[in-house]
Copies of this chain bind each other. A is one copy, B any other.
Amino acid sequence: MEHIPILKMGNLLLVTIQVDMHDRLAMTLQDDLTSRIVKDQANGVLIDISALDIVDSFIGRMISNTAAMARILDARTVLVGMQPAVAITLVELGLTLHGVQTALNVEKGIALLQRTAT
């Protein structure tokens, strides 16, 4: 598969990352997502990583960059579904997800975006 699907739900876009990211796929996702934010006039992006067992510095940077791009386009990004082991690893490796909010799951992520939308 060459594209990660981006699902529209109201003013939000939902991206579920299931496959191993590589350079090209990350760039495609950023292209697709920024286009969709503009096209769908989205004000929030949910990135679900519940399928990921590992978040390394490449994925971490990709998520931070994507969030930064979204923010310039006036959309906020919430990272949801992080596995406990991933949270442990992120802290132990000293990786920070700069500019990215997190929520336990999609429902809480939607609530977070809606609560702080105004």
Contact = CB atoms under 8 A, between A and B. Distances in A.
Interface of A: 1, 3-5, 7-10, 14, 16, 18-20, 48, 50-53, 81, 105-107, 110
Most buried by B among A1, A3, A52: A1
Contacts of A1: 18-20, 51-53
Contact of A10 (B14, B20, B51, B107): B107
When all copies of this chain in the complex are counted, the total is: 2
A37 to B, nearest CB: 16
Contacts of A48: 5, 7
B8 A16 contact: no
Contacts of A20: 1
Contact of A9 (B5, B8, B52, B107): B107
A7 B16 CA distance: 9
A1 B52 CA distance: 8
Nearest to A20: B1
Contacts of A81: 5, 7
